[in-house]
Structure 1
């Protein structure tokens, strides 16, 4: 008697809408919160939209006039250059310090590793506004501990020194603040990547006579390179669009010393009631940041292709 054929392993499955209906409210809400503000800002950037239009709502379509106004403004290009400088300084400092902290944490014992990771998490959990306020008090001209410490060490010129009236000093303080806030995430992420490197590779490299620098360059970095590049891209995004720290601490001053593109967009929209120019500046900020990331990922994929 011939054996009966076994039933197919995969039968046609009927579409079950239940799971999709459960997640639909969250997905639709997220799309609304993301796409509607973006679409609204994009529309305003093509309109003559000032305080009168905000109240009455009869904005006139002006095409690319707002973009032409911004691109023809020398101050806008000064802000663009300052934004790229601010981003580069922050990202380089963050990645260097985060890599050193991650390497140090990997070499610590269990107790030391727990203390360092716990400290990083606590720093990372501090709200942005709270951390910015603390830095304001640290560098306060009369009550700040920085001025008092420097004066006690014999630097009398720092007695009641107004840090935020000096453009370079204010810029440096903001860099220190953002680096301090960003290093914990980068360090924890890089440390997690380091834990995936097999110890046998380190032992083989040491037996071959490789030093610490050679081991990092030839063994560690190639294996953690994807995570390292991902962290770099995230830090580029976060520092490029830094706003809260600058707005709370200096509002872009003194002068334009700490004004970067997000701050410039808000200043243009609020101070001059030019919501159209502010929206256009925001769109250009997004375009520039996207261009930086596209070039970065193209270079990354090209290098990855060469290593295949």
Structure 2
């Protein structure tokens, strides 16, 4: 007698006895194409905003750098293409190269001071008690949160020749020649005020990052170094720096970019004076483009500034990538 076999039904998740799917329930479908593209769809607003706010003005600046656009052309809506003339004029100008060298030196001095002092403050935060640490953190946060224009106004008052607190304090200490000293009368004294302002405003970022990074180092490493007789400097060079090398590279990278393109503090202190001796490349581009109404020339200087910053950071960026590959 032949036996007739019944087809075997595979059980599905959530099925009842015998593999039957309960009534009213449907098997869940896997992620479809729409769900896979959802992250990219969510990124579209940010990408659109970036293109509108960053890429488009950059493209317009590059286009404008190939034109001769002054007040007359702007009013008459005339377009005069000059090719690479704006670039060749600047690259053959001693004033441009003096400003570029000044900008590089200005950036190096500021970055070194910010990284050294900010690192020391971060180490101090890690050693203080809760109450003193909180007081120092609040002070750093207030300095960091102050707008650039407000910072510049405060420092302008502090170093005022007639009513400034700095001159009054130096006079009380015995330097009577500083009672009416004009800090903005020479290149180096003006740069001293600007550098002090930028370092003061940049230290909190490095200090907070340093303190946060220090919390990731296990205490066992410190204890092992102390058992070996290591002092503070040896602990920093053998424990802290090797573990926080990516932090130092990344923070220095950001500080170089921010300080090289710094405009507000330099311009608001003394308009690039005296006699345009404290102009950096961003200030130089603004004065030539907006102040002197040579918009094409100013755009060319801005593009050259971006290219110079890219060249300066190219080698350093390779170091960061190499460091990340080694981790």
- Pick the TM interval, shorter chain: over 0.9
Are 1:253 and 2:273 an aligned pair?
yes
Equivalence for 2:233: 213
Q: CA deviation at 1:48?
A: 1.3
3-state DSSP of counterpart to 1:15: helix
Q: How does 1:211-250 map to 2 (within 5 A)?
A: 211-250=231-270
Equivalence for 1:59: 79
Are 1:128 and 2:148 an aligned pair?
yes
Counterpart-to-counterpart distance in 2, 1:77 and 1:62: 22
Quote the RMSD (CA, aligned, Å): 2.3
Counterpart-to-counterpart distance in 1, 2:219 and 2:31: 47
For 2:185, which of 165, 174, 184 is the aligned residue? Answer: 165
Counterpart-to-counterpart distance in 2, 1:215 and 1:6: 61
Counterpart-to-counterpart distance in 2, 1:199 and 1:26: 41
Counterpart-to-counterpart distance in 2, 1:152 and 1:14: 75
Native 8 Å contact 1:102 1:188 kept in 2: yes
Equivalence for 2:312: 292
Q: Deviations over 1:19-58 (max 9, x none)?
A: 7666544532332111221111110001111112222222
Counterpart-to-counterpart distance in 1, 2:34 and 2:169: 69
3-state DSSP of counterpart to 1:282: helix
Unaligned runs of 5+ in 1: none
Are 1:15 and 2:21 an aligned pair?
no
Native 8 Å contact 2:111 2:255 kept in 1: yes
Equivalence for 1:193: 213
Q: How does 1:60-209 map to 2 (within 5 A)?
A: 60-209=80-229
Native 8 Å contact 2:246 2:324 kept in 1: no
Q: 1:208 to 1:260 in 2, by over 3 A?
A: same
Q: Normalization by structure 2: what TM-score?
A: 0.88
Counterpart-to-counterpart distance in 1, 2:256 and 2:217: 26
Native 8 Å contact 1:141 1:161 kept in 2: yes
Unaligned runs of 5+ in 2: 1-6, 14-26
Runs of 4+ aligned residues of structure 1 deviating over 6 Å after TM superposition are 5-10
Q: CA deviation at 1:14?
A: 2.8
Counterpart-to-counterpart distance in 2, 1:205 and 1:182: 31
Q: Normalization by structure 1: what TM-score?
A: 0.93
3-state DSSP of counterpart to 1:257: coil
Native 8 Å contact 1:174 1:245 kept in 2: yes
Q: How does 1:264-303 map to 2 (within 5 A)?
A: 264-302=284-322
